[in-house]
């Protein structure tokens, strides 16, 4: 017999031990929302005054912690992010695997994410710094408390959206449900929950660090792609259009004609390496995002 929602959630957390943290957050959020909503409705419609009586009736319909955990474990085995697993042919040669990166959707997703990370980084950094500044300057005013609460809730919302972007573009499993917010508690309790939640502060850290990471990602990717394209089309520019590749001090310079095919080959190799690098960095960033944005 379960006497409280907190006791049920604790048992559910234990039953889901070893599962992905994103799955755990989804399960806890779903369970808490369902139980609290059902109890509120039950207290309004029933003549029972004990929450525990209604809770156990709700659990009979919803499921015990072990039953819910088993259902989520089954879903976890079947539901994966679209880019989480890419089909690979085991018997392919090293050369085929190397150049096959251009057919890997996860590499393209990572590349696109890294290019646009500069934009999201600017937005996240600006919003976080502005929110902290305004909240700190108005904390002793009546309007300061609502501003701080709204700002902290906005951090949750933005990091949840970022998690969905990370899952879609990088293939890292992220929560599909935001953490449940109990609306029936006092204002002070809401503030305490927000300030005491580690994901609030880690979410701010992630949003601030997204700007320098976005600058690095954007600069490296755009520069590398531009150099690769320039090398690939160097023979056309120099041989067909009689256009020198490098200009220095008003003078044009270009490699000997016989080396131009090797220059193009070097550009192809460089852009292929960049695609592999983008996939690797995307994988690492996905783990970084999960570490900071997903609760334990």
Q: Which residue has the higher pLDDT, 118 or 40?
A: 118
How far is Cα 41 from Cα 4, in angstroms, rounded to an integer? 16
Q: Which residue has the higher pLDDT, 2 or 288?
A: 288
pLDDT bracket for residue 211 (50, 70, 90): very high
pLDDT bracket for residue 188 (50, 70, 90): confident
What pLDDT sits at residue 238?
A: 64
pLDDT tens figures, 4-22: 888 888 999 999 888 888 8
How far is Cα 180 from Cα 114, in angstroms, rounded to an integer? 31
- Burial of 171 by CB count in 10 Å (0-12 exposed, 13-18 middle, 19+ buried)? buried
pTM: 0.82
Cβ within 8 Å of residue 131, ≥6 positions away: 151, 154, 155
Mean pLDDT of the region 142-166: 91
What pLDDT sits at residue 85?
A: 59
Mean pLDDT of the region 44-60: 71
Chain mean pLDDT for the chain: 84
- Burial of 178 by CB count in 10 Å (0-12 exposed, 13-18 middle, 19+ buried)? middle
Most confident of 112-126, 148-162, 169-183: 112-126
What pLDDT sits at residue 257?
A: 67
Residue 89 in this model has a pLDDT that exceeds 80: no
pLDDT tens figures, 216-267: 999 999 999 999 998 888 777 666 655 555 555 556 556 666 667 787 899 9
Most confident of 24-33, 64-73, 96-105, 281-290: 281-290
What pLDDT sits at residue 50?
A: 63
pLDDT tens figures, 118-127: 999 999 999 9
């Amino acid at each position: 017999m379960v006497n409280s929602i907190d006791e049920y959630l604790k048992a559910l957390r234990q039953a889901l031990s070893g599962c992905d943290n994103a799955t755990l957050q989804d399960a806890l959020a779903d369970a808490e929302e369902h139980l609290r909503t059902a109890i509120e409705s039950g207290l309004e419609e029933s003549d029972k005054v004990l929450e525990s009586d209604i809770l156990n009736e709700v659990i009979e319909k919803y499921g015990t912690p072990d039953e819910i955990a088993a259902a989520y474990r089954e879903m976890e085995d079947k539901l994966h992010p679209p880019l989480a697993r890419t089909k690979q042919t085991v018997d392919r040669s090293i050369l085929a695997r190397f150049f096959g990166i251009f057919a890997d959707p996860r590499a393209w997703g990572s590349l696109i994410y890294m290019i646009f990370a500069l934009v999201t980084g600017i937005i996240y950094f600006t919003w976080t710094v502005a929110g902290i500044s305004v909240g700190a300057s108005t904390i002793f005013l009546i309007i300061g408390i609502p501003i701080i609460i709204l700002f902290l809730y906005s951090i949750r919302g933005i990091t949840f959206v970022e998690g969905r972007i990370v899952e879609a573009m990088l293939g890292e499993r992220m929560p599909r449900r935001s953490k449940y917010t109990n609306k029936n508690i006092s204002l002070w309790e809401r503030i305490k929950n927000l300030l005491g939640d580690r994901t609030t502060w880690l979410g701010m850290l992630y949003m601030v660090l997204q700007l320098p990471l976005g600058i690095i990602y954007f600069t490296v990717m755009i520069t590398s792609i531009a150099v690769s394209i320039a090398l690939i089309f160097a023979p056309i520019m120099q041989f067909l259009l009689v256009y020198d590749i490098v200009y220095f001090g008003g003078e044009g310079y270009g490699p000997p004609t016989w080396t131009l095919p090797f220059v193009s080959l070097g550009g192809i190799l460089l852009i292929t390496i960049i695609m592999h690098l983008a996939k690797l960095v995307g994988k690492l960033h996905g783990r970084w995002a999960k570490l900071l944005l997903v609760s334990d």
